[in-house]
Structure 1
Amino acid sequence: MRWKNRPEGSNWGDFGEDDQIGRLNFLTPSVVREAASEIREGLRFCLSLPLDLPGGNALNAGRLPPQLRPTLRGGEPNSNYRLSADFPDFRDVISDDAVLLHTQYSSQWDGLSHVGQEFDADGDGIAEVVYYNGYRGGEHICGPKDATSDTEMKASALGIEKMAEVGVQGRGVMIDLEGAYGRDSKSVGYDDLMRVMEADGVTVEKGDMVCLHTGFAEMIVEMGGTPDKDKLHGSCCTLNGRDGRLLNWITDSGLSVLIADNYAVETYPAQKQPGACVALPIHELCLFKLGIHLGELWHLTPLNRWLKAQGRSRFFLTAPPLRLPGAVGSPANPVATV
């Protein structure tokens, strides 16, 4: 076994010693069949931002928009390439491209290899770098030692492809935080969340894929690729990761994944608290302890408007990541069907 101690409040081992998908195990065939009953109109909503938004790198200096380039054919750009140059009798014209893509730049999934912790999993008094279910940094999640190395980043365990292989379909549940609190900056605690859910008649059941609508992604769309960093970081709701009752609700609710249209789901950095040792407590709980994948920067506003107009909060959600072996995150192109 990879660990002797497991973190307090974690579910390590509950789905098996070698589990790599966490609470996606709750998306059983019966849960998916029940979720399909939410399809009544056959209408579909794309929940992804265009992948070149937010624009620039104002939200995160280390994440850049995608760069599209043509591939090469015979040393020439493969863009509007006339095959007659190689085969005089042919009239075909070919375009082919490649992309340099930062996987967590826009609408995205955080994989379980995205956030770990220094934790004494061996019980020897020495903390080591570990991730969900005891998988190890440097052994299972590896990368270059310095900026000059050509070693690739690779997760041989907990890679995003494990999420893709599940299929990721189930019942989505929308919680409209913007509808209750507007676009002012607010760190939402347990009581705040419960008030919104009660007022809108929202319930969350085991296996549900919970979506938090804050209006943040819609603000990005409105900014048209030139984001105002200060305005964005001073706007909209985020979850208060220092609220212990909120963390307990995430654990006890049985939700399978947690999704938001904002930058990090939770308030970042988290509010200062004596003795606190993590900057992202919801990331710690979800990715490190419970195996709950996090979706960020999804474009939820059009779907939320439709659901509110219909007096609904539930829908069928299809949301696999790219099946990219070894990646710690992935762009998301989710589709909601109502």
Structure 2
Amino acid sequence: MRTSDELSEADFRSLYRRLRGIAPGGANRRGALDTITEEQVLAAVREVRSGRAVSLAAPVNTRTEPDDADPAQHRLTAPPGGRPSSEGLEFARDRFAMNIHGDVDSHIDALCHVIYDGTLHGGIPAADALTPDGAGVLSIDLADDGIVGRGVLLDIPRLHGVSWLEPGSNVTAEDLVCAEARQGLRVGRGDILLVRVGHRRRREELGPWDTANARAGLHPTAMEFLAERGVAVLGGDGNNDTAPSAARGIAFPVHVLAIHAMGLHLLDYLRFEDLAPICAREGRWSFLCVIAPLRLPAATGSPVNPLAIL
């Protein structure tokens, strides 16, 4: 775990080129999703022992907070005024709207989400792919049939004997390797890797803060671990990126490396506070993971409620 070690822009670009070359999704228009084979899904199903399902999403936030200036909107549209009649048939109806890529609500990023040097993942010119009507390629449509595979939770605060990592802390590749060893498993090709930094627990115990400027996440060099192991999807209980950024001149280096270079769908702002204690108690940190984005044609992401099935 580091709080400094900033990469220069030249070092970041060198890391970007290296990961683009070795990551399994680096040259694939579906990205790393194709590392999850049907055989791996069947193997992941065999991870289920009790049949217990645990949500990995946080409740949707509808209040303005220090970390959410644009909260989701939810209102009852019928019956009028919220007052049902005492006779006859009526239906309660509501309307919901969300800024998908905010700093509180659980969501999945599509491969069209990150524009770097004018291109999307795979070198597709962003100007050709993105229009006011949405993304013509690499949208969340790629996950229309859901993402199902072996989920692996690496609990970094547990590794260091703390409740959470303080904002600004960087998870390193060494942290990931040590967490593997401590938890008795190995991350492999096609896995859905979930990295806990304790963001949600800190928010729930201390209250929200300006996460745009201060949050724990992965150091950009930790992405080499994911590329070498052939990880299919990365999820975190924060933004996955540290703030302040660990790469000079690049505000979201992990997003650039994961989505743009490696073709990894990212899950941001999940919640592991129900799952982690179960994993610790049972001594097993892998499970069947089911991720079902909404079918939003041409969208850059989606609200999501992933499930761990133990």
- Range of TM-score over shorter length: 0.7 to 0.9
Structure 1: give runs of 5+ residues left out of the alignment.
Answer: 1-5, 85-90, 119-128, 144-151
Query: Which residue of 220, 241, 244 corresponds with 1:266?
Result: 241
Would the aligned equivalents of 2:159 and 2:179 in 1 still touch at CA under 8 Å?
A: yes
Matches within 5 A, 1:160-179: 160-163=140-143, 165-179=144-158
CA contact (8 A) 2:23 2:227 kept: no
> Are 1:112 and 2:91 matched, yes or no?
no
Where 2:180 maps in the other structure, the secondary structure is: helix
Change (3 A) 1:306 1:107: same
How far apart are 1:98 and its partner, in Å?
1.4
Instruction: Check conservation: 2:236, 2:270, Cα contact below 8 A.
Output: yes
CA distance in 1, matches of 2:26, 2:196: 33
> Separation in 2 of the partners of 1:290 and 1:259?
14
Gaps of 5+ in 2: 1-15
Q: Which residue of 2 aligns with 1:286?
A: 258
Question: Which residue of 1 is the match for residue 124 of structure 2?
Answer: 135
TM-score (norm 1): 0.77
Out of 35, 56, 59, the residue aligned to residue 67 of structure 2 is 59
Per the alignment, in what secondary structure is the counterpart of residue 138 of structure 1?
helix
1:160 CA drift (Å):
1.2
- Match status 1:92 vs 2:92: no
Identify the residue that residue 102 of structure 1 maps to in structure 2.
Answer: 99
Amino acid at match of 1:205: G
Report how far residue 78 of structure 1 moved. Answer: 8.1
Assess if the C-alpha contact under 8 Å between 1:67 and 1:100 holds in 2: yes
Q: Distance in 2 between matches of 1:92 and 1:303?
A: 41
Label 1:50 to 1:205 Cα distance change in 2 as closer, same or farther (>3 A): same
Give the equivalent residue in structure 2 for 1:158: 138
For residue 220 of structure 1, give the secondary structure of its aligned residue in structure 2: helix
1:189 aligned partner: 172
Q: Give the CA deviation at 1:22.
A: 0.6
Residue 227 and residue 81 in structure 1: after superposition, are their counterparts in 2 closer, same or farther (change >3 A)? same
Is the Cα–Cα contact under 8 Å of residues 140 and 301 in structure 2 kept in the other structure? yes
Local SS of the residue matching 2:108:
strand
Cα 1:229–1:82 change in 2 (3 A) is same
Provide the residue aligned with 1:200 in structure 2.
183
- 1:315 maps onto 2:287 in alignment: yes
CA RMSD of aligned residues (A): 2.8
Q: Deviations over 1:205-251 (max 9, x none)?
A: 1100001112211233345xx62337x9656x42111x3xx232121
Structure 1 residue identity aligned to 2:51: G
Amino acid at match of 1:202: L
Residues 77-129 of structure 1: CA distance to partner in whole angstroms, max 9, x if unpaired?
Answer: 48555597xxxxxx1121112112111230111111111211xxxxxxxxxx1
AA matched with 2:40: V
State the partner residue of 2:305.
Answer: 333
Q: Aligned letter for 1:170?
A: G
Q: 1:45 to 1:13 in 2, by over 3 A?
A: closer
User: What letter is aligned with 1:99?
Assistant: F
Q: Which runs of 4+ in 1 moved over 4 A?
A: 11-17, 78-84, 232-235
Map of 1:28-39 to 2, 5 A cutoff? 28-39=37-48
Structure number with higher helix proportion? 2
Which amino acid letter does the alignment assign opposite residue 67 of structure 2? L
CA distance in 1, matches of 2:224, 2:284: 26
Q: 1:15 to 1:173 in 2, by over 3 A?
A: closer
Residues 184 and 33 of structure 1, relative CA distance in 2, 3 Å threshold: closer
Q: 1:43 to 1:14 in 2, by over 3 A?
A: closer
Partner secondary structure for residue 266 of structure 2: strand
Contact 1:269 1:280 in 2 (8 A): no
* Contact preservation (8 Å) 1:83, 1:93: no
What does residue 87 of structure 1 align with?
A: none
Q: Say which one has the larger Rg.
A: 1
The answer to whether the Cα contact below 8 Å between 1:32 and 1:171 also exists between their aligned partners in 2 is: yes
